[in-house]
């Protein structure tokens, strides 16, 4: 069957990531290769402080990365709290393809990555280190919800100094010319998180879910709220029940808002979904979430998501 190939991803940095994915999709390549290649772009981007290299560290100064990847047949792999590896998404794919497991964490994930030939690197850049030192001046070393309340007016939710960063996790979903779906999600998590904290991004069903019969979903924002609601799985299940991607994302967002009415006023969660027919939808709690769509007709479309607030 010939389908319209399409790739979608979260936030404005999704444009460049989609274009990379398109170099594979546009040639009739596999959706799985496209999403892995696509999200490597923000993983490498030194200006991006919420994904991969140059990501903001945890409270103790460690850059610790979460990533997951999934295909249409239920194959999936993920890494959490992985340090020193520039492309966690590629380690996640190796977990999927070369181990009997789905998720490797921390030291074990690093050991596996090194065994697979990935290079051990320092991912904390001088700029991120400076931002961390700046944060340390006022930070109390204890989990505080306010350290993760962000300046949505500037479009981001990563808790960076001065609200200057308007980028978050990248979640990417693709359908290729043969109708195969795949998704990838990669992040350095919430800036200044507790050491060992894992968000939604590497949790299959939370930050990412793909079902070849239905479609895929991915999320960005405060991962705890997404995990609590098995967010991406919920979006896909709602599409299974007949919702459009937009309706499914909206209903999943409303589920969070309903359960967490007070907290949801100050936190961001955004969902992005792509169904088997190539239809795209998104919804967020806070204003400012956007997503990028790329196909044969449009290479750089950035679309603002609707939101509750």
Residue 169 falls in the annotated catalytic set: yes
Q: Does 187 bind ligand SD4 (CB under 6 A)?
A: yes
How many Cβ atoms sit within 10 Å of the Cβ of residue 242? 8
Among 157, 186, 232, 264, contact with ligand SD4 (rule: CB under 6 A) = 157
Among 15, 113, 190, 274, contact with ligand SD4 (rule: CB under 6 A) = 190
Q: Tell me how far apart the alpha carbons of residues 308 and 273 are, in angstroms, rounded to a whole number.
A: 17
Candidate segments 28-36, 214-222, 252-260, 278-286, binder of ligand SD4 by CB under 6 A: 214-222
Q: Does 168 bind ligand SD4 (CB under 6 A)?
A: yes
Binders of ligand SD4 in range 192-211 (CB under 6 A): 199-201
Q: Tell me how far apart the alpha carbons of residues 18 and 294 are, in angstroms, rounded to a whole number.
A: 6
Among 18, 40, 169, 264, contact with ligand SD4 (rule: CB under 6 A) = 169
Candidate segments 19-27, 138-146, 183-191, 254-262, binder of ligand SD4 by CB under 6 A: 183-191
CB 134 within 8 A of CB 161: yes
H/E element, 91: helix 88-98
Angle at alpha carbon of residue 86, lines to 298 and 193, rounded to 5°: 95
Closer residue to ligand SD4 in complex, CB, 26/159 = 159
Q: Does 166 bind ligand SD4 (CB under 6 A)?
A: no
Q: Tell me how far apart the alpha carbons of residues 172 and 179 are, in angstroms, rounded to a whole number.
A: 16
Bridge partners of 186, per DSSP, are 67, 170
CB of 196 to ligand SD4, least distance (A): 13
With CB under 6 A, what is the number of residues at the site for ligand SD4?
14
Pick from 86, 76, 85: nearest CA to 111: 85
Catalytic residue among 10, 158, 169, 187: 169
Tokens of 4: 């319209």
Q: Tell me how far apart the alpha carbons of residues 216 and 63 are, in angstroms, rounded to a whole number.
A: 28
CB of 198 to ligand SD4, least distance (A): 8
CB of 227 to ligand SD4, least distance (A): 8
CB 306 within 8 A of CB 272: no
CB of 193 to ligand SD4, least distance (A): 7
CB of 69 to ligand SD4, least distance (A): 16
279: Cα separation from own chain's centroid: 19
Binders of ligand SD4 in range 105-124 (CB under 6 A): none
Q: Does 218 bind ligand SD4 (CB under 6 A)?
A: no
Among 9, 64, 128, 158, contact with ligand SD4 (rule: CB under 6 A) = 158
Pick from 228, 306, 224, 309: nearest CA to 271: 306
Distances in Å between the Cα of 282 and the Cα atoms of 244, 250, 292 are 10, 7, 11
Q: Tell me how far apart the alpha carbons of residues 235 and 230 are, in angstroms, rounded to a whole number.
A: 9
CB of 171 to ligand SD4, least distance (A): 8
Q: Which residues are catalytic?
A: 169
Name the site residues for ligand SD4 (rule: CB under 6 A).
157-158, 168-169, 187, 189-190, 199-201, 220-223
């Amino acid at each position: 069957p010939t389908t319209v190939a399409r790739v979608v991803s979260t936030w404005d940095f999704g444009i460049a990531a989609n274009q990379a994915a398109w170099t594979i999709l546009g040639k009739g390549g596999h959706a799985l290769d496209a999403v892995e290649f696509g999200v490597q772009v923000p993983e490498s981007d030194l200006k991006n402080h919420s994904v991969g290299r140059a990501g903001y560290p945890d409270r103790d100064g460690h850059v610790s990365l979460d990533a997951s990847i999934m295909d249409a047949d239920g194959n999936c792999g993920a890494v959490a709290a992985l340090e020193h590896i520039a492309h966690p998404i590629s380690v996640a794919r190796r977990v999927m393809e070369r181990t009997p497991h789905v998720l490797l964490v921390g030291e074990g994930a690093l050991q596996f990555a090194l065994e697979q030939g990935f290079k051990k690197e320092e991912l904390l850049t001088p700029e991120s280190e400076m931002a961390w030192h700046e944060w340390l001046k006022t930070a109390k070393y204890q989990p505080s919800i306010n350290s993760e309340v962000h300046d949505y007016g500037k479009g981001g939710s990563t808790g960076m100094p001065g609200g200057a960063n308007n980028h978050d996790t990248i979640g990417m979903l693709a359908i290729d010319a043969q109708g195969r779906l795949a998704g990838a999600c990669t992040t350095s998590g919430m800036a200044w998180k507790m050491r060992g904290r894992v968000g939604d991004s590497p949790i299959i069903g939370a930050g990412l879910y793909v079902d070849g019969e239905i479609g895929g979903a991915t999320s960005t924002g405060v991962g705890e709220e997404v995990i609590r609601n098995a967010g991406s799985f919920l979006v896909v299940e709602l599409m299974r029940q007949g919702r459009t991607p937009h309706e499914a994302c909206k209903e999943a967002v409303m589920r969070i808002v309903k359960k967490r009415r007070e907290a949801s006023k100050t936190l961001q969660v955004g969902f992005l979904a792509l169904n088997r027919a190539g239809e795209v939808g998104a919804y967020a709690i806070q204003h400012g979430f956007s997503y990028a769509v790329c196909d044969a007709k449009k290479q750089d479309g950035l679309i603002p998501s609707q939101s509750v607030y």
